[in-house]
């Protein structure tokens, strides 16, 4: 199992390695000015969605490991340069940047790197054109949402049950109290 920061680092590395060299990758909401286009923002919009029932595994003493499958959804928004820069400087538009990121999941080396870092791709993302008006013109934008799966495990000390007490009340019956010593 990888830690949350290790999962973030693996996602960052995947994005950085699969965008054009002139494209900057940033986490969404960095509290800094926008970089020059082209750039890509990464935003984990869901972080730990539980899928299925967790399982318990005995380790030793009173320690158990509880774990199960989780998913997280990453929203990627690409911001492309204006049309003139796309033509004159041969810079890819936002839709192509997102398409290249999506298509990187067809590369076995990319999938192997993600697996080694504890991530699996759970969906085939759709590239969406989300271009919008910015100041006096339209900004080239595209989006994909990717669902990654990962395993979540944690060590849980549960303590030892030394004594159990029980009492039952049945209408019309005599009251009996039973104490069981488990030591």
- Helices 4-17 and 108-116 sit at what angle, rounded to 10 degrees? 160
Burial call 121-160: b when 16+ CB within 10 Å, e when fewer: beeebebeeeeeeeeeeebbbbbbbbbbbbebeeeeeeee
Given a cut of 70, the residues of the chain with pLDDT beneath it are: 1-2, 86, 160-162, 167-170, 173-183
pLDDT at 74: 97
How is the chain split into domains, by residue range?
4-181
Residue 47 to residue 73: CA distance in whole angstroms = 7
Token reading at 85: 């820069």
Entry pTM: 0.77
- Distance set, CA 76 to CA 15, 39, 134 (Å): 9, 10, 19
Per-residue model confidence (pLDDT) at position 73: 96
CATH number listed for the domain at residues 4-181: 3.30.2000
pLDDT tens for 1-29 read 568 889 999 999 999 999 999 999 999 98
**pLDDT value at residue 177:** 64
CA separation for the pair 43, 103 (Å, rounded): 19
* pLDDT at 169 (0 to 100): 65
């Amino acid at each position: 199992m990888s830690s949350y920061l290790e999962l973030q680092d693996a996602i960052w590395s995947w994005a950085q390695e699969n965008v054009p060299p002139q494209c900057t990758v940033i986490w969404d909401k960095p509290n800094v000015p926008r970089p020059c286009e082209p750039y890509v923002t990464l935003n984990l919009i869901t972080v730990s969605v539980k899928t299925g029932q967790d399982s318990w595994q005995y380790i030793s003493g009173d320690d158990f490991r509880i774990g199960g499958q989780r998913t997280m959804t990453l929203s990627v928004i690409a911001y492309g340069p204006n049309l003139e820069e796309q033509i004159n400087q041969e810079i890819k538009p936002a839709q192509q940047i997102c398409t290249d990121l999506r298509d990187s999941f067809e590369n076995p080396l990319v999938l192997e790197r993600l697996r080694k870092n504890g991530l699996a791709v759970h969906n085939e993302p759709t590239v969406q054109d989300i271009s919008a008006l910015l100041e006096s013109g339209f900004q080239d934008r595209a989006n994909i949402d990717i669902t990654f799966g990962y395993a979540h495990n944690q060590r849980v000390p549960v303590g030892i049950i030394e004594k159990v007490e029980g009492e039952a009340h049945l209408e019309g019956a005599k009251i009996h109290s039973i104490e069981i010593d488990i030591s």
